């Protein structure tokens, strides 16, 4: 920690729900106010400000002189200064580059992105005050109207009416700065380069994306009308046993009375049920549930909740949201927009029909209204007035990075040839290798089943179950692949696959309980054929696992495999990437773990944030996972480099969605080809990595 830092924390109040609406919408609302601000000055003095006071001179001097302003989730404090402390209370407003985000530092070493969770994970002396949530509920949220007060009017617990608790609130606020200060002292600072990436993320969050709110509102009306009609039909079909498509428990019970063995109705279960020969009414009820379960209305609700006065949605990106460093989505979650259903073939051309807000009209033109709404969600995001959106998406980036890291030269050459137009696409090439046929004979269906699915499922040591799951995502039935593979595969490979199936069946593992014999064997044969063609990739899985184990067994010693190095220091296993950035795995140790074959193997385990539960938990670091982490981290570093270059060249970045960068560019400025080139112009550390991006320019956001 440097001497020019002023750790900062603010406490505010508002009628806006921060969790649903986000900080940008929250702070622009007229009901939002800052009640307290705590500052840890560089000389160690603690200053607590409340709204009855002037801006402290030392605080103003620190900001005006360019001093750093660390905070946990610094975007919140940044917006507090920008919208309230500056214009309303006379504070100087720090520049984006003055902020240092302690939450970003925590994320960069894969510890929980909450102040309480991070403090507990690192065992800090200072811990977050458990009474804080009570005080926040008391002072930061409107209270209910009391007897004699006007219902619906806004009422607060005012500080002057509760001096003892408000004093505790101030102590809590100061306490947070102490926790943040100690936490920051324990964490590794972001590098200068990563600080720039954080700043670009902050700029994108401040800039936001423009929403077509007329379309959002119209789609919401269509969805509400369609939902009402679906509920009425569900009521009729089930004889009033189920009166709404959302009544999952009631529908499950009703299906069981119809002789349908249903114990859950999630997406996969619904698809499984619809593949069966169901009674007519039961099939229709399941179809109604499937249609009504579209996530469209949740996305539309979120858009309406977050939109600011200028029709922009802000704060959509979380820096280092994933352990690999990739961004994750917030609020409207552009990272997980639903896949297109194909109901609306051309969303741009369908906008006028949707603006009617009439579900019957939409059903007449397009068929299923809820599916049509789902297909239109991306179109709600548009360029700013007078601008157009430019987007570029890296092509097969994870496959390219995997081959580059592994030294799979034949595959790198294949990518280069495909990029130059002198060779087949990698999916066609993979399919031809697996089927042992000429690449020119590969059909579209074969490209999907034997090309795309293996490439996406097998690069990170995926087994039969992983392959089967990926095949299901792309609508590929591996049982149907059985005859073609049996006709072309080496008999020895085929016999080994059958033998392995029998072993796994006896143990009731590796998916034998959910897959047919034909689907399992076809998946196993495809896996083996893919691995045989990728010996360097298979070697990388082993090599990275061995290097990580060596580093943990010999703390302080650097263990290297290929372009990746591992070392244990300061309680973390560090994975040094080609870019020089490091991934971190907490509290590494060696544990004997059982393999599927019953023996034990010394494995590296570490602490990290579970991607589903968000809890700090211990997990095993096997070769495939280490490969996946490193590959996705390298892909992220390429995107960060490209986005920084595009921003500097005058292409204002507004989104990154997986491997896609999106800019909101004035009409007449720049070109799509230049934007693509900027994203693909490699840093020196990525020499030899073939990278291309395909892009589009339109008024509305879309999935190309």
3-state secondary structure 111-142: CCCCHHHHHHHCCCCCCCCCCHHHHHHHHCCC
Decide if 392 contacts 691 (C-beta within 8 A). no
Cα 274 to Cα 290: distance, rounded to the nearest angstrom? 10
**Percent of the chain predicted with pLDDT > 70:** 98
**59 has a pLDDT exceeding 50:** yes
Cα 531 to Cα 525: distance, rounded to the nearest angstrom? 10
Q: Tokens 């196993």 belong to which residue?
A: 524
Q: Record the tokens describing residue 112, joined without a space.
A: 């929980």
Could you report the per-residue pLDDT of 355-401, keeping only the tens digit for each? 999 999 999 999 889 889 999 999 999 999 999 999 999 999 999 99
**535 has a pLDDT exceeding 70:** yes
Decide if 560 contacts 547 (C-beta within 8 A). yes
Q: Which pLDDT value is given to residue 273?
A: 81
Q: DSSP assignment, residue 139? A: H
Could you report the per-residue pLDDT of 322-363, keeping only the tens digit for each? 889 999 999 998 988 887 788 999 999 999 999 999 999 999
Give mean pLDDT, residues 644-671.
Answer: 95
The top-scoring range by mean pLDDT among 339-353, 397-411, 451-465 is 397-411
More confident residue, 405 or 336: 405
Cα 308 to Cα 613: distance, rounded to the nearest angstrom? 31
Q: Record the tokens describing residue 185, joined without a space.
A: 């002292």
Q: Residue 5 in 3-state DSSP?
A: strand
**Angle formed at CA 520 by CA 515 and CA 523, multiple of 5 degrees:** 125
Give mean pLDDT, residues 470-477.
Answer: 84
Q: Record the tokens describing residue 684, joined without a space.
A: 């020196």
Cβ neighbours of 587 (radius 10 Å):
15
Residue 427's pLDDT band (boundaries 50, 70, 90)?
very high
68, β-bridge pairs: 5
Q: Which pLDDT value is given to residue 301?
A: 93
**70 has a pLDDT exceeding 50:** yes
Could you report the per-residue pLDDT of 190-208, keeping only the tens digit for each? 999 999 999 999 999 999 9
Indicate the average pLDDT of the chain: 91
Cα 377 to Cα 701: distance, rounded to the nearest angstrom? 9
In this predicted structure, which of 445-449, 479-483, 609-613, 664-668 has the lowest mean pLDDT?
609-613
Decide if 380 contacts 211 (C-beta within 8 A). yes
More confident residue, 370 or 99: 99
Q: Report CA-CA distances (Å) from 92 to 8, 13, 58, 73, 129.
A: 14, 21, 12, 20, 29
Q: Is the dihedral of CA 274, 279, 282, 288 positive or negative?
A: positive
Decide if 190 contacts 105 (C-beta within 8 A). yes
Give mean pLDDT, residues 4-27.
Answer: 95
Decide if 515 contacts 481 (C-beta within 8 A). no
Give mean pLDDT, residues 55-75.
Answer: 96
Give mean pLDDT, residues 618-626.
Answer: 92
Give mean pLDDT, residues 138-162.
Answer: 91
In this predicted structure, which of 239-243, 633-637, 644-648, 678-682 has the lowest mean pLDDT?
239-243
Cα 331 to Cα 314: distance, rounded to the nearest angstrom? 9
Q: Record the tokens describing residue 160, joined without a space.
A: 């002057």
Q: Which pLDDT value is given to residue 36?
A: 97
Q: Which pLDDT value is given to residue 259?
A: 85
**597 has a pLDDT exceeding 60:** no
Could you report the per-residue pLDDT of 538-574, keeping only the tens digit for each? 999 999 999 999 999 999 999 999 999 999 998 999 9
Q: Considering the entire predicted model, what is its pTM? A: 0.91
Residue 147's pLDDT band (boundaries 50, 70, 90)?
confident
Residue 1's pLDDT band (boundaries 50, 70, 90)?
very low
In this predicted structure, which of 256-260, 665-669, 681-685 has the lowest mean pLDDT?
256-260
Q: Which pLDDT value is given to residue 528?
A: 93
Q: DSSP assignment, residue 515? A: S
Could you report the per-residue pLDDT of 158-171, keeping only the tens digit for each? 999 999 999 999 99
Percent of residues in the chain assigned helix, strand, coil, to nearest 5: 50, 15, 35
Cα 28 to Cα 510: distance, rounded to the nearest angstrom? 53
Cα 365 to Cα 348: distance, rounded to the nearest angstrom? 15
Give mean pLDDT, residues 28-48.
Answer: 96
Cα 15 to Cα 33: distance, rounded to the nearest angstrom? 10
In this predicted structure, which of 259-263, 299-303, 359-363 has the lowest mean pLDDT?
259-263
Residues 6+ apart with CB under 8 A from 459: 398, 399, 402, 534, 537, 627, 628, 631
């Amino acid at each position: 920690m440097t001497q020019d830092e002023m750790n900062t924390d603010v406490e505010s109040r508002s009628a806006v729900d921060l969790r649903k609406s986000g900080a940008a919408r929250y702070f622009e609302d007229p009901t939002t106010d800052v009640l307290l601000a705590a500052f840890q000055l560089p000389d160690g003095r603690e200053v607590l400000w409340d709204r009855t006071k002037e801006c402290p001179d030392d605080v103003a001097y620190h900001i005006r002189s360019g001093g750093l302003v660390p905070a946990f989730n610094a975007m919140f404090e940044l917006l507090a200064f920008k919208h309230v402390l500056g214009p309303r209370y006379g504070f100087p407003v720090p520049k984006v580059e003055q902020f240092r985000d302690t939450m970003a530092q925590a994320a960069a070493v894969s510890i929980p992105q909450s102040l309480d969770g991070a403090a507990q994970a690192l065992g800090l002396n200072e811990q977050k005050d458990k009474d804080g949530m009570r005080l926040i509920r008391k002072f930061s949220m409107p209270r209910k109207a009391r007897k004699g007060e006007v219902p619906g009017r806004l009422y607060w617990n005012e500080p002057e009416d509760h001096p003892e608790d408000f004093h505790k609130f101030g102590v809590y606020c100061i306490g947070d700065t102490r926790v943040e200060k100690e936490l920051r002292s324990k964490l590794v600072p972001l590098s200068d380069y990563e600080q720039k990436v954080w700043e670009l993320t902050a700029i994108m969050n401040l800039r936001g994306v423009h929403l077509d709110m007329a379309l959002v509102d119209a789609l919401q009306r269509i969805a509400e009308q369609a939902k009402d009609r679906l509920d009425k039909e569900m009521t009729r079909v089930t004889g009033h046993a189920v009166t709404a498509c959302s009544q999952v428990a009631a529908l499950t019970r009703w299906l069981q009375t119809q002789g349908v063995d249903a114990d859950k109705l999630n997406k996969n279960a619904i698809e499984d049920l619809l593949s069966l020969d169901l009674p007519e009414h039961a099939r229709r009820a399941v179809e109604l549930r499937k249609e009504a379960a579209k996530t469209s209305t949740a996305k539309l609700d979120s858009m309406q909740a977050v939109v600011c006065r200028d029709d922009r949605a802000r704060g959509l990106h979380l820096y280092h949201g994933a352990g690999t460093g990739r961004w994750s989505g917030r609020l409207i979650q552009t990272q997980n927009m639903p896949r297109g259903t194909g109901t609306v073939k051309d969303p741009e051309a369908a906008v006028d029909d949707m603006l009617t807000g009439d579900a019957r009209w939409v059903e007449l033109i397009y068929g299923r209204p809820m599916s049509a709404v789902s297909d239109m969600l991306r179109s709600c995001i548009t360029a700013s007035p007078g601008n157009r959106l430019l987007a570029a998406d890296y092509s097969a980036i994870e496959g390219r990075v995997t081959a580059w890291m592994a030294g799979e030269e034949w595959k790198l050459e294949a990518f280069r040839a495909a990029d130059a137009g002198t060779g087949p696409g990698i999916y066609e090439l993979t399919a031809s290798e697996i089927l042992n046929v000429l690449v020119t004979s590969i059909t579209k269906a074969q490209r999907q089943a034997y090309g795309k699915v293996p490439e996406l499922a097998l690069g990170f040591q995926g087994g039969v179950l992983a392959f089967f799951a990926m095949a299901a995502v792309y609508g590929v039935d591996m049982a149907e692949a059985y005859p073609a593979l049996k006709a072309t595969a080496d008999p020895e490979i085929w016999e080994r696959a059958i033998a392995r199936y029998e072993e796994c069946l006896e143990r009731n593992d590796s998916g034998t309980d959910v897959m047919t014999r034909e689907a399992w064997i076809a998946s196993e044969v495809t896996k083996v054929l893919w691995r045989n063609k990728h010996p360097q990739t298979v070697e990388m899985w082993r090599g990275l696992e061995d290097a990580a184990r060596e580093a943990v067994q010999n703390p302080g010693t650097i263990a290297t495999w290929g372009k990746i190095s591992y070392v244990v220091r300061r309680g973390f296993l560090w994975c040094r990437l080609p870019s020089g950035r490091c991934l971190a795995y907490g509290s590494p140790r060696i544990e004997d773990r059982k393999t599927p074959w019953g023996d034990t193997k010394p494995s590296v385990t570490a602490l990290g944030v579970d991607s589903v539960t968000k809890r700090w938990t211990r997990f095993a670091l096997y070769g495939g996972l280490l490969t996946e982490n490193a590959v996705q981290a390298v892909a992220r570093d390429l995107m960060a480099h490209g986005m920084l270059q595009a921003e500097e060249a005058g292409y204002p970045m507004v989104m990154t969605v997986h491997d896609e960068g999106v800019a909101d560019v004035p009409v007449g400025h720049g070109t799509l080809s230049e934007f693509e080139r900027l994203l693909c112009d490699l840093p020196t550390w990525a020499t030899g990595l073939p990278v291309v991006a395909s892009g589009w320019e339109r008024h509305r956001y879309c999935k190309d």
